[in-house]
Amino acid sequence: MAEAAAAKKPSSWRVLGQALRNRKTGFMLLFGFASGLPFALFLGTLFAWLTEAGVDLETMGVFSLIGLAYAFQFLWSPLIDKVDLPGLRRLGKRKQWIMPMQLLLGAILLIMSLSDPKSSIGLFSLLAGIGAFASATQDIAINAWRIDVADEKATLDVLSTVYQMGYRLSSLVGGALALIIASRIGWPQTYLVLGVILLAIGAAALFAPNADSDRSQTGSESDEQVRALRQAGGIVPSVRYKALALVGLLWAGTIALVLNFMIQSLTAAPDARPDPTEFTSTWGPWIIVATIVLPALIAGWLASQRKKGQNLLTEDAPPASGASYVADNLYRALVLPLEEFVGRLGWALVLILAVVLTYRICDAIWGTFAYPFYLTELGYSKDEVAVASKFFGVGAIVLGLALGGWLLTALGRMPTLLIGGLLASLTNLLYADMASGGRVMGAVAHSTGFAALIESFPGGSEKLARLMVTIGGENLATGIAGAAYIAWLSSIVSKKFSAVQYALLSSLTLLIGTLGRGALGQMIEDQGYYSIFILTTWIGLGAMVLVCLEWWRQTRTGNAGVIAPEAASAKD
């Protein structure tokens, strides 16, 4: 029987072909593009426009604070899972958030195109802040949509890969291409064109497919989960309310802290504004503890009560009403996603969080210091860096994503996660060679004929070829690792709580890099780039040990906690 089943198993190329022909994949590419474009426009290209308009650096520093919306998006992710927008729920659980956010972002870009940043800096600040919040909200909903709609044909692995392709392509359009276009037609016209593109994607989102649960459910799934809290076998309300009070206080305190920081930054005099880097490095770890670690411990205790059969209802409790109804809904939004997560994974969650914190740490930290390394340490010009990193580099990472998508289909999630992570770790040695003179990279460029090819173009040189080979090798590995990592991360969360659980895990990935940049910058000043690249190589290899342990865990438990959520959701 097993041999017959194996013989009938479709080839990886056939599975990949079916997925790429599925309409969900096409919309995933659009959504990935729409997800990455605002990030590039609000946190990158906009600063070029402000610089040309003569806006001072202090004011631009305040603009950079809008990036916190992406780092702390998990703080309002429960709303995406719980709240239905009036009149829009019929679009689908996720599309009711995706479509209006995309239309709002398009409208913001159009309004910005009609404004002058020098004379209307207050309006620009407000629009950029609202845009960043809408963009981060859109990201939460799009990631949840990707997880929810995945099926046997449009697999989670392929959707995750295509999403990243769209995201990377949008960073090219919103970055390098936007600069080129703006130099010819001006910044207002450039933002006008890109705003129209987002509006068009928002209109197209109306036709995106929904998850099977959206089409089949007669009532709100979250309401059903709230009612289930009072059925026999659930935690007694008094215990749940105490847990909710603790988690609520932790989250409310964190939200108040972040809002206070934002208000001070936007209203205080320039010399009295708090330092964003200091805030993130000082309060960032405590925010993680307050919003993730301590709530996870509380959720773990609740899950243990279920397993022990303690503090459980022996019969159905009366339906909730009034204050108890509000409390039950808050419990469903804040505590239940963590309780499900911890209860399903148990102590394996510690290993999973260790992988989350270390797998992409090198990329997350290194990105800030890439341009100083290229421009100052290696002495490349801005044009050379643009060619190598923005054009050739983006092409290499898209190729890596495509290769990663095929490997996911042919080999599986964990083998690809290990291969991608191992390659990404070892590519730090390419930069170590560049830091010590680039002899190996130069030899590779010459032996492959790549140096001769680049020298044949105007402005090309052997030096540029070395940088392109280095960046190309790193981005190819990063693409493979990125495809595997997002697919693995998506597979861990439950479809019932995909918005909250994925937002929490992705925020951990982002914040750990932010917190480590200060220390890495100091180490670069003290030890130089070569030693840092050797260190980051070892960090990456250490993460691969954790990946091997996670692979072993999944093999030993039969993928427990990974495949189960999707299978369970299909039955609901």
Take residue 473 and report the two structure tokens written for it. Answer: 């090798």
Take residue 247 and report the two structure tokens written for it. Answer: 């988690």
* Backbone φ, ψ for residue 150 (5° rounding): -60, 140
Looking at residue 77, its pLDDT comes to 84
Range of weakest confidence among 118-132, 405-419, 437-451: 118-132
Looking at residue 4, its pLDDT comes to 44
Looking at residue 500, its pLDDT comes to 85
pTM metric for this prediction: 0.81
Span 39-50, average pLDDT: 81
* CB-count exposure of residue 253 (10 Å: 0-12, 13-18, 19+): middle
Q: Which residues, listed in sequence order, are joined to residue 486 by a DSSP beta bridge?
A: none
CA 253 to CA 290: how far, in whole Å? 9
Span 174-192, average pLDDT: 86
Question: Model confidence over 190-249: pLDDT tens digits?
Answer: 999 999 999 999 999 888 888 766 654 444 666 777 787 888 888 888 888 999 999 989
Span 6-21, average pLDDT: 57
Looking at residue 291, its pLDDT comes to 82
CB burial readout 376-391, b (16+ within 10 A) else e: eebebeeebbbbbbbe
Residue 468 pLDDT exceeds 90: yes
Name the band, by pLDDT with cuts 50, 70 and 90, for residue 101: very high
| CA dist list (Å): 338 to 493, 506, 550 | 10, 15, 20
Chain-centroid distance, C-alpha 516: 18
| CA dist list (Å): 300 to 294, 344, 350 | 10, 10, 12
Looking at residue 516, its pLDDT comes to 61
Looking at residue 40, its pLDDT comes to 85
Name the band, by pLDDT with cuts 50, 70 and 90, for residue 16: low
Residue 477 pLDDT exceeds 90: yes
Question: Model confidence over 489-528: pLDDT tens digits?
Answer: 988 888 888 888 888 888 777 666 666 665 666 677 778 8
Average pLDDT, the chain: 82
Question: Model confidence over 539-567: pLDDT tens digits?
Answer: 889 999 999 999 999 888 765 444 444 43
Q: Decide: helix, strand or coil at residue 312.
A: strand
Length of the chain: 572
Query: Which of 21-30, 86-95, 394-403, 505-514 is predicted most confidently?
Result: 394-403
Q: Which of 294, 384, 305, 386 is closest to 335 using CA atoms?
A: 294
Looking at residue 368, its pLDDT comes to 64
Question: Model confidence over 369-419: pLDDT tens digits?
Answer: 777 788 888 888 877 888 888 788 888 998 999 999 889 988 889 999 999
Take residue 182 and report the two structure tokens written for it. Answer: 């703006």
Can you tell me which residue has the tokens 């330092």? 275
Take residue 492 and report the two structure tokens written for it. Answer: 């861990």
